[in-house]
Structure 1
Amino acid sequence: MSAVAALTIFVVAYVFIATEKINKVKVVLIAAGLMAVLGLIPGSEVFFSEHEGVDWNVIFLLFGMMVIVGIVKQTGLFDYLAIWAAKKSRGKPYRLMVMLMLITAVGSPFLDNVTTIMLVAPVTVVVCNRLRISPQPYLIAEILASNIGGAATLIGDPPNIIIGSRAGLTFNDFLVHMAPIVVAIFAAFVLLTRVLFRKSFEYHPERVAAVMALNERRAITDMAMLRRCLAVFALVVVGFCLQTVIGLDPAIVALVGAGLMLLVTNADVNDVLEEVEWPTLIFFFGLFVMVAGLVHTGVIGAVGEFTATAFGDNYLLAATSLLFGSAVFGAFFDNIPYVATLAPIVQGITDGIADPAISDALWWAFALGADFGGNGTAVAASANVVAIGIAARSGHPISFWQFTKYGIIVTIWSTALAWLYVWLRYFA
């Protein structure tokens, strides 16, 4: 009965989130409260358990990067980049979208997709405001590009960090096995956006002319502060890349970087904290508690075990099930807690396989499905929630279905291409 109750609460909450009848933060807090009152979560352990509770690493990584972005914003850097991007693209909508997507996709594998979105999304809003065009299509395209690009490396997408830790896979392993298909899918995605967003492209020569006349260098309000910010940010990036060497979680690196940047810039703490997306952080907290209810009552575990026993020694079927199953469930349950829950089950399957190449193939199928499933819905990945929060805060809200109608299309064809890649590389 507890599993039925947890699943019912989750489904009802998800319907309210999808229909946007009630603010999503209110929905997740009410749902999380019901889970707690009915005893469907592991009590106080929900605050401490790695697999059945709130993932504080994600929460504090987001908080740290929000503080960093809030400080950098005060220097005028985002206005500078916005004017620069508008001038380089000459205001041509598709060219601008490709440029912003390329920046996002290249940054995501090395900064992680959430951090990249937090840096690029404010620039996008500014440049679109300058051109007086709707930023929603550009933000949606960037989110999709960030989830595709982030799949390429160990640190590019949070689920990859979990998988790499559980499977003993290195940064170079991800580059060798994941990067080729990610590059191919991103190239196809760039072409697809020309069709997906064709009705959204607006070009107004008179507005472009006004932007072309601007001097981007004048947008920088404090060059000395910007230099200090960039120096600290460079250290944060190095910390992310050397995670396995220095032994610090990305969340710790982000928090230390935020504190150091506050120190060296002498920025007003109250002003910076006003830039933090508090509703987004609270939404993640509530969502983690909701998923903890599904984990604690055995709903997600039962689904995973059923999948694990269904394919026996047919490893291509196993890879197919992991790939498509992860894309589907990762799209609806948030791919971070989903991967954290299923990773032990996948490890149990792979431990019984004598051929290490086949064993690794199952992990790659699992990772590709979870990463690309992050594009499925508006709440499927951290980058989605963060970008949508930034859009709402800037006065350009993106609805659940406005994002999802594009995300589902991209998820379906990217997952299909990923399956073809897995079959050809590991089983054909």
Structure 2
Amino acid sequence: MHTTYSSAFFGNFLGQAPKWYKQAIIAFLIINPLLYFFVSPYIAGWALVIEFIFTLAMALKCYPLQPGGLLAIEAVAIGMTSPDQVYHEITLNLQVLLLLIFMVAGIYFMKGLLLLVFTKIITKIRSKTTVSLLFCFVSAFLSAFLDALTVIAVIISVAVGFYSVYHKVASGKHIQTSHDHTSDHELPEYSREDLEGFRAYLRNLLMHAGVGTALGGVMTIVGEPQNLIIGEQAGWDFVEFAIRMSPVTLPVFIFGLLTCFFVEKFKVFNYGAPLPKNVRQILVEFDREEGAKRTIADKAKLMIQSAIAVWLILGLAFHVAEVGLIGLTVIIFATAFTGIIEEHQIGHAFEEALPFTALLAVFFSVVAVIVDQSLFGPVITWVLAQEGDMQLVYFYIANGLLSMVSDNVFVGTVYITEIKQALVDGVITRDQFDMLAVAINTGTNLPSVATPNGQAAFLFLLTSALAPLIRLSYGSMVWMALPYTIVLTLVGLVMISSGSLVEYTNTFYDMGVINHHSVESATAPSGH
């Protein structure tokens, strides 16, 4: 109980965040103006960037929008950047905002089809290794065309559904009765071992699926938000982006699936947990009952969703419109032909994406500070002074290390903005820019699987209601991601540094599959 106004204000500030975290943010807000006015705007700018990365790394303590937003507002207020520059950065990246708003919402209305796909994989296939490979592969495929957050959200829905069904039946209740699946009090002793085995099984599948979203997300311009930022700055469409990334992403994809196979086969890093027989029997029976209840109208909805999925893939591949607008067509088709016509029904679809959309706007505010204060100028100059493939290696490593502790969208945005300016200033050639863009994209997407901080899908999984139910902690996620982190990072590094990227790109040029871009075509979208 607060006895004074000061304790009440402090208690309300950032809500349930730890006391030390609140004190740190307050200290940042006090220190920044002092550094800016009395020490150096350059040092103050770097302090802001480090503080903002801190809020991203501590996302489990407090969602970064509020503390990061306060830091960004203060930066504008004291003159580190201007509202016009912030608005300019946001307008440059309008496509990304539209992607998050409309595409994520559009896929929300296709959850029925996605739920069916993952449900059938679990109930129809007995081999745990095969199920794991399919979860990884299907998640990768879907994430190449859809939003990784939505894909992982669907898989979480499947897992929660199955977990609650088994928990209810194991507690001696009928499937149709109400039950609290978060409490084990009513669970008999003989069922607890099966429940622990089921939890381990679900942890395995969710981690394979999470990594799958990274494997697919790195491949295409819509796979991750930073991909679209990078592709837009480079002037690449969907097909060209996929082709330019393929010398790195295809080997990484293959080795990612091989890693999935080996960790399951040899039962290392807490993988290899089988689905208990009693659990399988209950889930198969539940799936059979659900199938029997499916009406002709329900089947018609699934057919419509399948047709929309085909339209989505073709629309992206042939670039019939900007990505966000294709997402809007998905919303219209998926609601018009499935009977969803009320405003409040549609509103729920936007709940997942809008908090991150707001956070992305804060990202761009910090990017505006970086641009106005030329914070990365010396770093970029040093890296670009390196010879040949070492430029690519340094960019890949720098992006990878930052993406492990920060958000890969922020990291990718910062670096692509800097090398874009280097291109405009004539410091690098267009060919160098293209190669560096590939290094930045793969660097932000691959090593970032190391922690939940780097991958939005991992963070979403860790903060979901399912994580405590299946005993999925931060530490266990880092441990289970470790083999993937090592393999994906090293394979990506080898492909970046071996010269094969340049070799394959030149082959694509010779074949006429991709074209040389002029500096003007690359800079046109950015307004220079």
TM-score, normalised relative to structure 2? 0.66
Among 129, 138, 146, the residue aligned to 2:213: 146
The yes-or-no answer on 1:262 pairing with 2:318 is no
Q: Cα gap change, 1:412/1:340 in structure 2, threshold over 3 Å: closer, same or farther?
A: same
Per-residue deviation, 1:330? 3.0
Q: Over alpha carbons, which structure has the higher Rg? A: 2
Q: 1:10 aligns with which of 52, 55, 79?
A: 52
Asked whether the 8 Å contact 2:98–2:324 carries over to 1, the reply is yes
Deviates more, 1:157-166 or 1:114-123: 114-123
1:98 equivalent in structure 2: 133
Question: Cα deviation per residue 1:68-109 (whole Å; 9 max; x = unaligned)?
Answer: 344344xx545533441123322x433322111111122333
In the alignment, does 2:65 pair up with 1:28? yes
CA distance in 1, matches of 2:476, 2:257: 19
Partner of 1:203: 275
Distance 1:219 1:164, change over 3 A: farther
Cα distance in structure 1, aligned partners of 2:430 and 2:420: 14
Are the aligned partners of 2:450 and 2:485 in contact in 1 as well (CA < 8 Å)?
yes
Distance in 1 separating the partners of 2:367 and 2:86:
15
Count of residues paired in the alignment: 414
Asked whether the 8 Å contact 2:106–2:331 carries over to 1, the reply is yes
Distance apart, 1:29 and its partner CA: 1.0
**Which residue of 1 is the match for residue 313 of structure 2?**
237
Deviation for aligned residue 1:260: 3.4
Where in structure 2 are the equivalents of 1:306-317 lying within 5 Å?
306-317=379-390
Q: 1:413 aligns with which of 484, 487, 495?
A: 487
Closer, same or farther: CA 16–103 of 1 in aligned 2, 3 Å = closer
Q: Which residue of the partner structure matches residue 107 of structure 1?
A: 142
Shift in Å, 1:219: 5.8
| Deviation, structure 1 residue 353 | 5.1
Residue number in structure 2 paired with 1:48: 87
Going from structure 1 to structure 2, the CA distance change for 1:82 and 1:411 (only over 3 Å counts) comes to: closer
Alpha-carbon distance change, 80 to 297 in structure 1, aligned in 2, over 3 angstroms: closer
Deviation at 1:62, TM superposition (A): 3.5
Inter-CA distance 165–290: structure 2 relative to 1 (3 Å threshold) = closer
* 1:283–1:354 distance in 2 versus 1, CA, 3 Å: closer
Counterpart of 2:453 (choices 379, 387, 396) is 379
Tell me, what secondary structure is at the counterpart of 1:201?
coil
| Equivalence for 2:404 | 331
Kindly, what percent of the aligned residue pairs are identical? 17
Contact 2:367 2:413 (C-alpha < 8 Å) held by counterparts: no
Name 1:341's counterpart in structure 2.
414
1:302 maps to: 375
Q: Distance in 2 between matches of 1:395 and 1:202?
A: 18
The residue identity in structure 2 corresponding to 1:110 is F
Q: Which residue of 1 aligns with 2:25?
A: none
Q: How does 1:155-174 map to 2 (within 5 A)?
A: 155-174=222-241
1: distance between equivalents of 2:476 and 2:373? 28
Residues 29-59 of structure 1, C-alpha deviations (whole Å, 9 max, x = no match):
1331243145267554487333699x66445
Q: Which runs of 5+ in 2 are unaligned?
A: 1-34, 36-43, 167-194, 504-528
CA spacing shift, 1:404–1:230, aligned 2, 3 Å: same
Residues 108 and 156 in structure 1, CA contact (< 8 A), matched pair in contact too: yes
CA shift in 2, pair 1:12/1:137, >3 Å = same
TM-score calculated relative to the size of structure 1: 0.79
Show the counterpart of 1:183. Answer: 250
Name whichever of 314-323 and 176-185 sits farther off.
Answer: 176-185
* 1:122 is aligned to 2:157: yes
* 1:141 CA drift (Å): 2.1
Answering whether residue 303 of structure 2 is matched by residue 227 of structure 1, we say yes
Taking the aligned partners of 2:417 and 2:119, their CA distance within structure 1 comes to 48
Q: Deviations over 1:173-207 (max 9, x none)?
A: 44444334323323322343425553572431122
CA contact (8 A) 1:153 1:179 kept: no
Contact 1:326 1:366 survives alignment (8 Å): yes
Give CA-to-partner distance per residue, 1:99-121, whole Å, 9 cap, x none: 11111122333335445445544
State the Cα deviation string for residues 341-378 of structure 1 (Å, max 9, x = none): 3224324556555694x654333222221221442432
- What is the CA deviation profile of residues 282-335 of structure 1, one whole-angstrom value per residue up to 9, with x for unaligned ones? 255236415633641559952364133245151222111111111122333422
Q: Residues 291 and 160 of structure 1: is their aligned pair in 2 closer, same or farther, counting only changes over 3 Å?
A: closer
Greater shift in the superposed pair: 34-43 or 134-143: 34-43
Change (3 A) 1:44 1:408: farther
Is the CA contact 1:158–1:336 (under 8 Å) kept in the aligned structure 2?
Answer: yes
Amino acid at match of 1:6: L
Between 1:415-424 and 1:111-120, the stretch displaced more is 111-120
Q: Does the residue aligned with 1:418 lie in a helix, a strand or coil?
A: helix
Give the 3-state SS of the residue equivalent to 2:451 in structure 1.
Answer: coil
